[in-house]
Structure 1
Amino acid sequence: MKTQVHLFSGFLGTGKTTAIRSLIAQKPESEQWLIIVNEFGEIGIDGAVLSNNGIPVAEISGGCLCCTSGGDQIGETIRKMLHNNPAHRIIIEASGLAHAAGVIDELKAPEFANVLEIAAVFTLVDVRQFINPDYARHALYQDQIGVCDVLLASKTDLCSPEQLAQFHEQAAKLFPPKTLIAEVKNAQMNPEWLNLPVSEKPRYRLKTLPENSMGFQSQGFTFAAGRNFDGERLTQFFDDLPQLAQGLVRAKGVFQVLDTWVWLNWVDGGWGANQVSWRRDSRFELIAREFDADEIERRLNAALE
């Protein structure tokens, strides 16, 4: 049985250590856990806070887990910890300055393919930062939010009802959608969240459509991680979309291309591409007045390498 790995990400001061302590206090006695703490500074503080609980704790200090030295360290740390302590779960607290997607890539190294399972990934955000456009434009912030399955709003006691409402409105529009969006008071966690499913659905209907959506259709498609798309064929697919979907109003997707991940977005008659931190699956969604879902799926499959 594979060891489940949970990454906890979030900007500085959002309550990651407190959240993990909350989970530790509720750990089932039948489960064996390991904890890895990454801090940007040379002196680790969070590891000391978490170590007084009987659970093996390892620290990686002096850089982020996804940099060159950090990547080597996390692999070596996991190998040593699992050799000495077979475990049901590994909980990793990433530095507030870590690129979460890079950490996931390290955990998906071939040597761990039969050992580790990337389970629910958590990101804690300060609501006031989340709704601030200056933070939303920050690449590191986008990375931490984009990679997670579970998005948790912390420090909610410092927010107004209007700010919380704005958070939920913006979070609900994230693509790909989150498995769970929730508020946490004093970073207190529900241990059942560790078992949230992250499985893909080959096809799905979008939950929301544009206002006045009478006559519009929607459809989503997913493809398991590990299957690369061909960049040229994917480009051709997006170029052909207006002919494949009559009355096209929106199309967007995240795709694994040459083992990197890109976000493609068609809107207002054209499309663009950017790198993205999503790592779960490749997926595509569209909204149009008329299209053949089977043909769209066939064309997407044809764009796979």
Structure 2
Amino acid sequence: MPANAVSKTRVHLFSGFLGVGKTTALKSLMAQKDPAEKWVIIVNEFGEIGIDGAVLSDNGIPVAEIAGGCLCCVAGPQMAGTVAKMLRDNQPHRLMIEASGLAHAASVIDELKAKPLGDSLEVGAVFTVVDPRQFVNDDYAAQLLYKDQVGVADVLVASKTDLCDEATLHAFRQRAAKLFPPKALVAEVANAQLDIAWLETPVVSKSRYRIKALPDLDIGFQSQGFTFDAGLNFDGERLTHFFNELPQMCQGLVRAKGVFQVLGTWVWLNWVDGQWGANQVSWRRDSRFELIAQSFDADQIEARLQAALE
């Protein structure tokens, strides 16, 4: 291995619905790249003809194409082989993957983290590009694929803002601020022009944190958040007991919500109005829990969450 080779390649996934500007976003980063840093690019096209790959292959950065719409389904085995070959042939510092607009981003992240790829890759900030006009549309928000792409993002990029009126942008900001888990960065750009510094967006959270934005509540409420490493699994039965007993551990419980890894899958638990429900989600970074109540013992809550780990 050459002296300048890196032990692990940092991989960034670029996700987003059809036509939002992912290729343009990637080109904007390529134009800012440090010449000393070696990149490779993998483009996942929906059709059989590689248009995006052709657009990106004009500046000396190696580009590979995978046809078939969904990296994690039709093209899954092909992705693993393509990634392995790109790493072996180029020994890059960064791997940029532009996913098809129909790709399930969370499943792609799972495959990048799993062996054997996970031995060579470090998953860096995940980017999802959205059109604010779609983002604020309830029909889009209800689609599982769209929710998956938004949910897995560390950096949420609102593109085409020059085509949006102020009411749409205001609605976008309000919805983006309420996303759970919260995004490391929410950016608004015109024509999908990204800042290369965003590649270094941190994706590791503190183990205990204060919720940045409280809902409109009377003075006197506490808020607290907790995170747990993505390598840790929670026991489903113990989590159920925790949520059932949570109202007795808190005075004036208003809201509690969390994303937890259980048996290798990721579930969202949400307590509101005296009851809670569960759904699968696309988040892959860490398990995390937030609550708002009049008063509670944060150390006790943390201890009970630790006890729910496998």
Report the TM range for the smaller structure's normalisation.
over 0.9
Quote how far apart the aligned CAs of 1:165 are: 0.9
Q: Deviations over 1:247-277 (max 9, x none)?
A: 0000000000010000000000000000000
Question: Is 1:21 aligned to residue 31 of structure 2?
Answer: no
Q: Give the C-alpha shift of residue 157 in structure 1.
A: 1.1
Inter-partner Cα distance in structure 1 for 2:217 and 2:192:
39
Deviations 1:176-233 (A, max 9, x none): 1001101111111100000111112100011122323311101000000011101111
Cα shift at 1:13: 0.3
Query: How big is the shift at 1:104?
Result: 0.3
What percentage of aligned pairs have identical amino acids? Answer: 71
Q: Distance in 1 between matches of 2:79 and 2:156?
A: 24
Q: Which runs of 5+ in 2 are unaligned?
A: 1-6
Whether the aligned pair in 2 keeps the contact of 1:200 and 1:224 (CA below 8 Å) is no
Per-residue deviation, 1:70:
1.7
User: Is 2:187 aligned against 1:168?
Assistant: no
Identify the residue that residue 100 of structure 1 maps to in structure 2: 105
Name the structure 2 match of 1:109: 114
Q: Does structure 1 retain, via aligned residues, the 8 Å contact 2:252–2:294? A: yes
> What does the per-residue CA deviation read over 1:159-189, in whole Å, with 9 as the maximum and x for residues that have no partner?
1011111101110010010011011111111
Give the match for residue 279 of structure 2: 274
> Which residue matches 2:91?
86
Q: Cα RMSD between the aligned structures? A: 0.9
SS in 2 for 1:218: strand
**Matched pairs, number:** 304
**Alignment partners' CA distance in 2, 1:235 and 1:39:** 41
C-alpha contact (below 8 Å) 2:84/2:117 kept by paired residues = no
TM-score, normalised relative to structure 2: 0.97
Instruction: Give the corresponding residue for 1:295.
Output: 300
* Alignment of 1:208 onto 2:213: yes
CA contact (8 A) 1:4 1:119 kept: yes
Picking from 10, 26, 31, the partner of 2:16 is: 10
Segments of structure 1 that go 5 or more residues without pairing to the other structure are: none
Contact in 2 for aligned 1:221/1:284 (Cα 8 Å):
yes
**2:133, 2:168 within 8 Å by CA — same for their partners in 1?**
yes
Q: How far apart, in 2, do the equivalents of 1:234 and 1:216 lie?
A: 24
Cα distance in 1 for partners of 2:86, 2:278 equals 40
Structure 2 residue aligned with 1:32? 38
The one of 158, 174, 180 equivalent to 1:153 is: 158
Which residue is 1:135 aligned to? 140
2:50 matched residue in structure 1: 44
| Deviation of the 1:112 alpha carbon | 2.6
| 8 A contact 1:122–1:149 mirrored in 2 | yes
**Counterpart of 2:68?**
62
Moved over 6 A (4+): none
Check whether the contact 2:29–2:196 (CA below 8 A) recurs between aligned residues. Answer: yes
| CA apart distance, 1:30 | 0.8
User: Does 1:233 find its partner at 2:248?
Assistant: no
1:106 Cα deviation (Å)? 0.7
- Larger deviation, residues 107-116 vs 76-85: 107-116
- 1:118 counterpart = 2:123: yes
The residue aligned with 1:286 is: 291
User: Aligned to 2:133, what secondary structure does the other structure show?
Assistant: helix
